[in-house]
Structure 1
Amino acid sequence: MKHKWMYGAIGVLTAAALTACSASPAQVNAANVADAQKTSKVAERLRLVMEQLRFQEVLDTAPPTTAQLRTLRNPVDKEAHRSRPFAAADPKPIVQQPQMDATIIELDKQGRPVSSGTVLMSPSYKNGVIVPVDRNLSTTSVRWRQWDDAGWYKNKGQGTIDVVPGREGAPLDHMLDYPASVLKVMVSFGVLQLVDKGEIKLDETYAYKPTEISPLCGEASSNTVRKYMDASLTWSSNAASCALIKLLHDHKAIDPLNQTFQDLGLETLRLKGTRPSNGGRWSNEITMSSLDTAKLLTLVNGAPGTVWTAPNGKPVKSDDVLSPASRKFFRAELAQQGFNDMLSSTNWCGGKYPAAGLPNAAPSRWVGADGTVTVVGNKFGRDVRPCNKKAEVSFAHKTGWVNNSAGDAGIVRALRGEGGRHYVIVAFSNLGTQYVDAGRSATPPGIYPFTYTEKFAQLGRLIDTYEKRRAAAH
């Protein structure tokens, strides 16, 4: 059976079939250029949904004054300085169209990509713009810029620091949102590569001994690599993540990890600027686009054969990137995510707010006898059992937020008897905790506050409904 791939660009034969042909580099390049001339159905659907949700209607709880703008700086250790305004006496309309960067990669039953769509939204692209993507799930059509906190206000969402060199002439220009805790996906990937190389073991104890104490990372600690990874991925422990980053520094693995991303064609994935002394300093130098994050998760999910061809001409295969055992562990940890409150809103099951998101179940490890979710002291306060009972998909994912950043990235697979859909979804935005929906009420004392605009949950639900129908049609 032949599998036709419909990327964000064009329907073509699989990369495996392409590699088997004796196409010259010039022929391959010509084919990739042709890819940019058409768009996929999922790309068109994603852009339409993003436009219809009207993200520009959110309110800003902390817009800077003119005087504050003059001194506004990019903070270092962004997550250590993140704040939760969540409510304000007089929130203002957002000053301009928010930044959005979203990708869907549709997968077949074996996990092979069959289509993709990437959409950018910003003050320059108020209605959203579809990114041309070639058969290798790659694009040269975007000049990717590093996030700049002040620049979003003062420069109409336009960045000044290039992430990928040589893109000055690209037709699209986009400032990447800071990935917040979604960066921990890159960290875990790097650690598991060390495991596969035999340099460390999951169940060996790592003594985290920072030579510099920071608010982000905390004091010295000792735990197994497995438990550090579990804490980092399932409840987003910054201290555990700092330990893992320091572990990577100890093994001189940071630069090789960044080079691996480049070699795989994941050119916007950069774990840069962190401190060898403690694993801290998470700044805007750390970058992730939704497309490259979705590609990385596609490899973690696993697919037979060549998934795409790298810029150096080598076939990219899941088993060559991470061992089956490491990929299985990675997916299992992502599936234990405690914070189902962005593209999924299961933790807020049953209320009038927020809107229903992806229909996945909250993992039982976080659900108490009363049916409410509590994640390491953070109590959500609503009975999730009705939503768990009606769950249609599994969602192995990682969320992240700071005041001006929101992210959710994961793998969606239909549960048995629920329609067969299978896809990767990633959304990044500057709409972090600083931004709220009009009329959103505060949560009761002792209850974890609402983190994101409900428009993200609506995005998740609308895309999943589309994917459910698509799977049924096939």
Structure 2
Amino acid sequence: MYASAGLVLSGSLLACSAETPAGKVSAVQAAPKLPKGKVSPVAKNLRATLDKLRLQEVLDTAPPGSAQARSLGNPVDKEAQTTTDRARLLAAAPAAKPIVQQPQVDATVLELDRRGRPVSSGTVLMSPAYKNGVAIPVDRNFTAKDVRWRQWDDKGWYANKGQGTIDVVPGREKATVDHMLNYPASVLKLMVNFGVLRLADQGKVKLDETFDYKPDPVSPLCGGATAKTVRQYIDESLTWSSNGASCALVKLLHERGGIDPLNQTFQDFGLQTLQLKGTNPANGGRWSNSITMSSLDTAKLLALVNGAPGKVWTAPNGKPVTSKVLSPASRKLFMSKLGQQGYNDMLSTTNWCGGTYPAPGIPQVTPSRWIGKDGTVTVNASKFGRDVRPCNKKAEVRFSHKTGWVNNTASDAGIVRALPGKGGRTYIVVVFSNLGTQYVDANRPSTPPGIYPFSYTEKFAKLGRAIDTYEKKRRR
């Protein structure tokens, strides 16, 4: 989440009993059950890649029992943030401790053919129960039926060892794998903008109408009243992740009767984990754990936004799901804004071009919109301070994506398309994890005053680069 300077604190690290660091073995444990069905080579490669990254080696700036952990609240708006919050975690970084249990990860790679149709996929879940990751089988409609999806629980992350208690999809009690979905952070704005563009296609919203956003009450997440065109709110929501613009769009959805139909549309399409629930109609805020997204369903949503001819998959009711869920004009606008993403610093790290840290990620073109005369990137007053032009010269792909973070969420979801003559791969990649801004690498340097601080462990960049290298080889 990047609407203003500062880190988000969601209260995931309340005080609890100490545990053995994730990198150490405390006792012999029974092997976890594996889900039923075959998995693709994509899934096998993704699982092996995640396992090799050793995500359990990150450090925690607010370990259980620490003053930092005790200071974390549990706000209604998970992405409300202050500069004091950010300063607290930055100051704690030198005293960070090993993470106490295996991180939570939900990752999907969805391969597309030249016409944009999904042809193969790989989904991997990692958790305290599956410390080396588990590849999830999917059916011909790219649905993972042997997973019991649970809502994220901040307190339960430690108290229940990553085990959720609230079911997201009904009827999965007998599933082999039980997984607590990560809070999606600002990737939830994909659902918001999809819903608004659906209303535009139905004639219930005009993109160039001015929407008077008058929140009552004003929330720390959303800010005060604004009056902008719907098109401008969409731009700000997707390209630099404005919370204020996104709250305005959520309020617009409520006012035009769009929330319940949107959630029902996701269910009808078979995207059962996509749920934009619990938001406040009065201000568009109250973003909390009742908002859910799995990496697989998010990837499928992006496949529809990207566009493909004919049936993309079959819905649970037997009807074909097609890219006609959005008009060509709405898909073009959506893709254009994703392609202008300003924050390229998780799976891709081109905003940090040329340094020794973080590691290079997906080799994307950095959008020119954010590049100054000196070649450095500035996004809504966030200065990255490195010349990205050398990386643009070496770029191999365009990455149309949306990032997000809170202290216990890191997320990135987007469409990768090779530049001419650079390998021909087209795929969608989505990663959700609890390793948000609270977690740091042991070798992470500090940033100079006035430069945007590092938001993620560089292990995500290494994951992005490994996935892209694999996909490039598969398309030869």
Same topology, TM > 0.5: yes
The equivalent position to 2:285 in structure 1, one of 280, 289, 296, is 280
Asked whether the 8 Å contact 2:76–2:287 carries over to 1, the reply is yes
The equivalent position to 1:365 in structure 2, one of 369, 394, 397, is 369
Letter in 1 for 2:366: A
Asked whether the 8 Å contact 1:73–1:150 carries over to 2, the reply is no
Identify the residue that residue 44 of structure 2 maps to in structure 1.
44
Identify the residue that residue 470 of structure 2 maps to in structure 1.
466
Report the CA distance shift for 1:276/1:133 in structure 2 as closer, same or farther (over 3 A). same
**What are the Cα deviations for residues 187-216 of structure 1, in whole angstroms up to 9, with x where unaligned?**
000000001001111111111111211111
Q: Within 5 Å, give how 1:70-469 maps onto structure 2.
A: 74-81=74-81, 83-84=85-86, 85-88=89-92, 89-319=94-324, 321-469=325-473
How far residue 294 of structure 1 moved from its aligned partner, in angstroms, is: 0.3
**What are the Cα deviations for residues 355-375 of structure 1, in whole angstroms up to 9, with x where unaligned?**
000000111010000000000
Q: How many residues align?
A: 437
Asked whether the 8 Å contact 1:75–1:81 carries over to 2, the reply is no
Instruction: Report the 3-state secondary structure (helix = DSSP H, G, I; strand = E; otherwise coil) of the residue aligned with 1:307.
Output: strand
- Cα separation, 1, equivalents of 2:75 and 2:179: 21
How far residue 166 of structure 1 moved from its aligned partner, in angstroms, is: 1.3
- Give % identity: 73
Letter in 2 for 1:369: K
How far residue 76 of structure 1 moved from its aligned partner, in angstroms, is: 1.1
Identify the residue that residue 27 of structure 1 maps to in structure 2.
none
How far residue 67 of structure 1 moved from its aligned partner, in angstroms, is: 9.4
Asked whether the 8 Å contact 1:301–1:331 carries over to 2, the reply is yes
How far residue 94 of structure 1 moved from its aligned partner, in angstroms, is: 0.2
- Cα separation, 1, equivalents of 2:279 and 2:337: 24
- Cα separation, 2, equivalents of 1:69 and 1:214: 24
Letter in 2 for 1:159: G
- Cα separation, 1, equivalents of 2:124 and 2:383: 34
Which moved further from structure 2: 402-411 or 77-86? Answer: 77-86
How far residue 73 of structure 1 moved from its aligned partner, in angstroms, is: 6.3
How far residue 75 of structure 1 moved from its aligned partner, in angstroms, is: 2.9
Instruction: Report the 3-state secondary structure (helix = DSSP H, G, I; strand = E; otherwise coil) of the residue aligned with 1:98.
Output: coil
Letter in 2 for 1:434: Q
Letter in 2 for 1:48: A
Identify the residue that residue 5 of structure 2 maps to in structure 1.
none
Return 5+ residue gaps in structure 1 as ranges.
1-34
**What are the Cα deviations for residues 112-166 of structure 1, in whole angstroms up to 9, with x where unaligned?**
0110000000000000001111000112111111111111111111111111111
Letter in 2 for 1:45: N
Which moved further from structure 2: 86-95 or 162-171? Answer: 86-95
Instruction: Report the 3-state secondary structure (helix = DSSP H, G, I; strand = E; otherwise coil) of the residue aligned with 2:133.
Output: strand
How far residue 74 of structure 1 moved from its aligned partner, in angstroms, is: 4.2
- Cα separation, 2, equivalents of 1:309 and 1:246: 32
- Cα separation, 1, equivalents of 2:71 and 2:144: 36
Identify the residue that residue 59 of structure 2 maps to in structure 1.
59
Instruction: Report the 3-state secondary structure (helix = DSSP H, G, I; strand = E; otherwise coil) of the residue aligned with 1:115.
Output: strand
**What are the Cα deviations for residues 337-382 of structure 1, in whole angstroms up to 9, with x where unaligned?**
0000000000000000000000001110100000000001000000
What's the TM-score, normalizing by structure 1?
Answer: 0.90
Letter in 2 for 1:50: L
Letter in 1 for 2:350: T
- Cα separation, 2, equivalents of 1:370 and 1:290: 37
Instruction: Report the 3-state secondary structure (helix = DSSP H, G, I; strand = E; otherwise coil) of the residue aligned with 2:338.
Output: helix
Return 5+ residue gaps in structure 2 as ranges.
1-34
**What are the Cα deviations for residues 257-309 of structure 1, in whole angstroms up to 9, with x where unaligned?**
00000000000001000000000000011000000000000110011110000
How far residue 71 of structure 1 moved from its aligned partner, in angstroms, is: 10
Asked whether the 8 Å contact 1:380–1:448 carries over to 2, the reply is yes
How far residue 69 of structure 1 moved from its aligned partner, in angstroms, is: 7.7
How far residue 422 of structure 1 moved from its aligned partner, in angstroms, is: 0.3
**What are the Cα deviations for residues 24-78 of structure 1, in whole angstroms up to 9, with x where unaligned?**
xxxxxxxxxxx95211110000000000000000000011318998997643100
How far residue 251 of structure 1 moved from its aligned partner, in angstroms, is: 0.5
**What are the Cα deviations for residues 226-284 of structure 1, in whole angstroms up to 9, with x where unaligned?**
11000000000000000000000000110110000000000000100000000000001
- Cα separation, 2, equivalents of 1:97 and 1:283: 23
Instruction: Report the 3-state secondary structure (helix = DSSP H, G, I; strand = E; otherwise coil) of the residue aligned with 2:132.
Output: strand
Instruction: Report the 3-state secondary structure (helix = DSSP H, G, I; strand = E; otherwise coil) of the residue aligned with 2:120.
Output: strand
How far residue 435 of structure 1 moved from its aligned partner, in angstroms, is: 0.1
- Cα separation, 2, equivalents of 1:408 and 1:423: 14
What's the TM-score, normalizing by structure 2?
Answer: 0.90
How far residue 311 of structure 1 moved from its aligned partner, in angstroms, is: 0.6
RMSD: 1.5
- Cα separation, 2, equivalents of 1:153 and 1:72: 14
